[in-house]
Amino acid sequence: MAAEELGGAPHGEGVVGQLSDWVNDHIRTVLLGPSLVALFVVFIYPATMLLWLSLQNTRGIGETFEPAYNYGRIFTDPTFWNAVEKTLIYSTGSLILSVGAGLAIALALNKVLDSRVRNAYATLILISWAVPLSIVGVTWRWMFNGQLGVVNKLLIDLGILESSYSWLGNSLSAMVVVILADSWSRIPFAAVVLLAGLQSIPQEMYDAAKMDGATTLQTFRHVTLPYLRPSFFVAGLITWMFAFRAFAIPFSTTGGGPGGATETLAVYIHRFGIQLLDYGFASAVSVFLVAVTLIVATGYVYFILEQIEEIEV
């Protein structure tokens, strides 16, 4: 072929050609640059401000630089430790319910052979994941409403309850309700991740176990569970991490009440930062929450990396 058919010259002609050459030579900058600039503006800027605010005393009028003030308050404020306790109960409860129910659903879905039926179930189960988080809250708030709620009505009609119970007015039952609401929204994710894990188990493993005379329970313990371990870990950690920082569901279900009984750290931060305009203290609590999450996340990332190596080897 003649060289001129190639578009010949090593460099493009004219402004368009030169521009195209420049783009070609700086492809990484052109493709990645905008994202990094965007992340810098929408993340680095507020994150830096967060650190700065956490060092300011904003309790009274105006701001004064008092680095130890807010962090000192954290450790002396009993409501803070209440929020930590509620957050731990909330996230752990949601983790157990979501992953437990998710596992049951995944195991059952994996047994459904007809893919249309399986997809139909999967679709119905995924719906709660797609429900806006505040809608989750108001829905459960409405169902467990003391006077008009359908749960009370149902339990009374079934003869389980004598009279209406104020679910959201009692500390313990309010916590149960928000955990249920939270799990309701998280179960689909856990189920999907665990199902993907189940489906990645090679059929030969099951065949080999059968050849070795393993019972179903033994197969589950020695084949399914070991293969499922990474998915289990991923589903569990992500569920826990996101429940740990949950805001919308507890906020819209109970608003943190009654009397702080369901006030997670996120709701606590929102109360001080947005409602009471005590930016400094809210920021200090945020830094604490971020630190805890990142310690867990780092462990998680290391674990994932190790898992990848294990799989590759």
Partner 1 sequence: MSDTDHTTDGAAPTADEDRALSLELDGITKEYTEDDGSTVVAVDDVSLDVYEGEFIVLVGPSGCGKTTTLRIVAGLEQPTRGSLRIGGEDVAGREPRERDIAMVFQNYALYPHKTVRGNIAFPLKIRKYPDDEIETRVQDTADLLGIGELLDRHPADLSGGQQQRVALGRAIVRDPAVFLFDEPLSNLDAKLRIQMRTELNKLHDRVGRTSVYVTHDQVEAMTLSDRVVVMNDGTVQQVARPKTVYQQPANRFVAGFIGEPPMNFFPVTTSPEGDRLRVDADGFSLVLPPEITDTVAAWDGDTDRLELGIRPEAFEDAALVERSLAAGETFPAYVAVVEPMGPNTDLALRPDNRADDEAAEFTARVANETDAAAGETIEIAVDTTEIHLFDPETGENILA
Partner 2 sequence: MAGPNFTVEQYRRRQRLWNLLESRYVVHLVLFLAVFFIVSPLIWQLLTSFKTQQGVLELTYLPTEPTLAAYERALIDRGFWRAVVNSVLIATASTVIVMILGTPAGYVFSRFRFPFDNAVFVFVLFTRLFPPIGLVTPYYRIVTTFGLLNTKTGIVIANVYLWLPLVIYIMRNFFITIPQALDEAARVDGCTKVQAFRYVVFPVVLPGFAAGTILTFLYSWREFLFAFTVSTDLNSMTIPVATFLFVGDAGIDWAAMAAAAIVAVIPSALVVVFFQRYIVVGLTGGLKG
Taking the complex as a whole, the smallest distance from the CB of residue 305 to partner 1 amounts, in Å, to 15
As given in the structure block, the two tokens for residue 222 are: 């020695």
- 212: partner contacted, choices partner 2, partner 1, none (Cβ within 5-8 A by kind): partner 2
Select 14 or 213, whichever has its Cβ closest to partner 1.
14
Q: Which stretch binds partner 1 (CB under 8 A): 8-16, 33-41, 169-177, 269-277?
A: 8-16
- 290: partner contacted, choices partner 1, partner 2, none (Cβ within 5-8 A by kind): partner 2
Residues 6+ apart with CB under 8 A from 129: 185, 186, 187, 188, 189
Instruction: Provide the greatest CA pair distance for the chain.
Output: 94
Taking the complex as a whole, the smallest distance from the CB of residue 13 to partner 2 amounts, in Å, to 14
Alpha helices in the chain (DSSP H): 14-25, 27-39, 45-54, 69-76, 78-111, 115-130, 133-143, 150-157, 171-199, 203-211, 216-219, 225-244, 248-253, 265-270, 279-312
The one among 13, 17, 19, 24 contacting partner 1 by CB under 8 A: 24
Taking the complex as a whole, the smallest distance from the CB of residue 6 to partner 1 amounts, in Å, to 6
| Dist. CA 123–CA 84, nearest whole Å | 35
As given in the structure block, the two tokens for residue 172 are: 């313990």
- 9: partner contacted, choices partner 2, partner 1, none (Cβ within 5-8 A by kind): partner 1
Select 2 or 130, whichever has its Cβ closest to partner 2.
130
The answer to the question of residue 7 lying near partner 1 (CB under 8 A) is yes
Is the Cβ–Cβ distance between 227 and 219 less than 8 Å? no
Name the site residues for partner 1 (rule: CB under 8 A): 1, 3, 5-10, 24
